[in-house]
Structure 1
Amino acid sequence: MKRMVRVAAVQAESGLFDLAAAVDKTVALIGEAAAGGAELVAFPEAFLPGYPWWIWLESPAGGMRFVPRYTAASITRDGAEMDRIRSAAAEHGIHVVLGFSERAGGSLYLAQAFVSDTGELLGVRRKLKPTHVERAVFGEGDGSDLQVHDTALGKVGALNCWEHLQPLTKYALYSMGEEIHVASWPSFAGYRGVAQALSPEVNTAASLMYAVEGQAFVIAPCAVIGAATLDTFCDTGEKRKLLQAGGGFARIYGPEGTSMAEPLPETAEGLVYADLPADLRAIAKSTADPAGHYSRPDVLRLLINRHPAANVADLPSAEFTTAG
């Protein structure tokens, strides 16, 4: 890992169904982060085109009215919108980890793109298991999505939201020597006082625990619920109780549990910055390395299938036989 790395976590409302506005905002935040000296900027889960909050507020039938618009506003990994993100990264010389809804054929996936400071698309991963009602909208990733990328800054990996509650998924990234981790979250403004498991207390703790368990620096971008989101999804008083304004809890943690950045107010949009000294990770690793000296592979090991899950596989012609 580079001796000192300056990073930025995004805390902002996305552009929702206005894809052009969402991309413009993303590009502007990339430029702002670079102007602030950041070498890496990380975005919330599904920042493009925005998180589909209707799935937590509507019946499946009631939510169908949003599906065509959301599908149309989702992007492909090789489309014009991703090209703009890559060009912005190259223009400003900054690494980007972008949360987006990926459209592939007729399916959508909760994806994260890794873009280098030269604009190279290092990789795209998909959430292995969408959480609860997310499975009504999004498909699943596969073993190829367990990625850690070697960059000039260090080894960078990422997970989405409640993947940080999946012990085996986390351990897979620990085992790859991950040094800088992006924990992308949607807003923590949903189900306030109704579901403690979705609360900011629990989910910021998940990011913190990832840092301490894996001895990695954790950048945890988090979206904000603003007027545009509420107006789009909350057409009744009951829905406005379930989804409230704010919920922005962007955080940056050190590998031994230090809070490394001053948080913004939860309703505020902006960037949270921190300088990451590599020496902190060496100190933390010397105490407890879960995939190294603090492991017991003779007792417990992780089995991973890293192969992409293909829907169609062509058999060699010799394996086909003619009937009759």
Structure 2
Amino acid sequence: MIGPFKVAAVQAAPVFMDLDATVEKAVRLIDEAGQQGVKIIAFPETWIPGYPWWIWLDAPAMGMQHIVPYTMNSIQAGSPQDETLADAARRNDIQVIMGVSEKIGGSLYMGQWHYDSNGDVISRRRKLKPTHVERTVFGEGDGSDMVVLDTELGRVGALCCWEHLQPLNKYAMYAQNEQIHVASWPSFSLYLGAAYALGPELNTAASQMYAAEGQCFVLAACATVSKEMIDFLCDTPPKQQFLQEGGGHANIFGPDGAPLCEPMGTTVEGLQIAEIDLAAIAAAKSAADPAGHYSRPDVFRLMFNNKPAPAVVNFDDAGTTLSDEIVEVAEEQIAAAAQ
């Protein structure tokens, strides 16, 4: 096992709805982390090109004016912007987990792209189920997006926002022996005082509880809402009341749930940096390993279909069809249930 190393969670606003400028800002933050010896940096949810806050501020029809520019500023795999992020990871010898609005074909997805320290993309996961009005903008992922990856620094996984409130999501990740988890959040400055479930207390607690339940380190990246974003989005008094400037609550939590950083202030931009040692996980696991010695598989089991679910399935060289895949999955699930 490797010794202690530094990790970082980003607390900053994007250059809203500007793909190139936000990528440039991301590179500056990656370079800053690299200069401080950080080995993993985590970015907030859909940080490129920014979270589409208008979906919470007005009727869906009123937000259609933003869809075209938002789509045009969403990032595509293999694009020059993608290559720029990969180069930043490679140049700084750092793993980067970037929150993106991913454009593929005519659809958008809430993605987390994981670049390793060589600049290679080892995962382009998508949020399994966009939350509430997010579904007016984004498509959903599938079971193959619930992945924990072996890296030179340990086993790393990631989820977005309220994926951390889905118990089965979490258990699927815990069961893959996750050691470092990236929790990407958009900002906690929406409906303040009116919707506790969207606020900083509960959602910071979700990151903290994830660390304690899974006995892993959690890098909770959380964006801020800039004044420029407020000026752009909030053109009426009700909207100005609904969405506030700031909302940054980034932190890092240990496998016992302890916060490893002091709060930065809700409008402050920067990096939350902590030194972690994976050896601390062993002590936490000895007390409670939810998918190991602290489980009861004779009472509870999770059925987890981790296969991709493409919209179009072609005949392959062996003649496999979609119906064959459905039968195979069903047979596996029946066999598992019978054990």
TM bracket, shorter-chain basis: over 0.9
Deviation at 1:315, TM superposition (A): 4.4
Counterpart code for 2:267: T
Counterpart code for 1:168: L
Cα-to-partner distance string for 1:171-226 (whole Å, 9 max, x where unaligned): 11101110000000001000101100001000000000000000000000100011
The within-5 A match list for 1:136-151 is: 136-151=136-151
Cα-to-partner distance string for 1:1-33 (whole Å, 9 max, x where unaligned): 533121011000001111111010001000001
Q: Which residue of 2 aligns with 1:284?
A: 284
Identity of aligned residues (%): 53
Q: Which residue of 1 aligns with 2:234?
A: 234
Alpha-carbon distance between aligned partners in 2 of 1:15 and 1:58, rounded to the nearest angstrom: 22
Deviation at 1:232, TM superposition (A): 1.3
Alpha-carbon distance between aligned partners in 2 of 1:17 and 1:314, rounded to the nearest angstrom: 36
The within-5 A match list for 1:157-168 is: 157-168=157-168
Alpha-carbon distance between aligned partners in 1 of 2:165 and 2:217, rounded to the nearest angstrom: 17
Q: Which residue of 2 aligns with 1:116?
A: 116
Counterpart code for 1:232: F
Alpha-carbon distance between aligned partners in 1 of 2:107 and 2:53, rounded to the nearest angstrom: 18
Q: CA RMSD in A?
A: 1.4
Q: Which residue of 1 aligns with 2:70?
A: 70
Deviation at 1:261, TM superposition (A): 1.1
Q: Which residue of 2 aligns with 1:21?
A: 21
Q: Which residue of 1 aligns with 2:309?
A: 309
- Name the SS of the counterpart of 2:224 in structure 1: coil
Is residue 2:247 matched to residue 1:247? yes
- Name the SS of the counterpart of 1:87 in structure 2: helix
**More off after superposition, 292-301 vs 272-281:** 272-281
Alpha-carbon distance between aligned partners in 1 of 2:92 and 2:148, rounded to the nearest angstrom: 23
Regions of 4+ moved over 3 Å: 315-320
Aligned residue pairs: how many? 320
Deviation at 1:316, TM superposition (A): 7.2
Counterpart code for 1:238: P
Q: Which residue of 2 aligns with 1:56?
A: 56
- TM (norm. structure 2) is 0.92
- Name the SS of the counterpart of 1:278 in structure 2: coil
- Name the SS of the counterpart of 1:181 in structure 2: strand
Alpha-carbon distance between aligned partners in 2 of 1:35 and 1:258, rounded to the nearest angstrom: 26
Q: Which residue of 2 aligns with 1:125?
A: 125
Alpha-carbon distance between aligned partners in 1 of 2:172 and 2:279, rounded to the nearest angstrom: 23
Q: Which residue of 1 aligns with 2:105?
A: 105
Q: Which residue of 1 aligns with 2:207?
A: 207
The within-5 A match list for 1:184-223 is: 184-223=184-223
Gap regions ≥5 residues in structure 1: none
Counterpart code for 1:228: E
- Name the SS of the counterpart of 2:89 in structure 1: helix
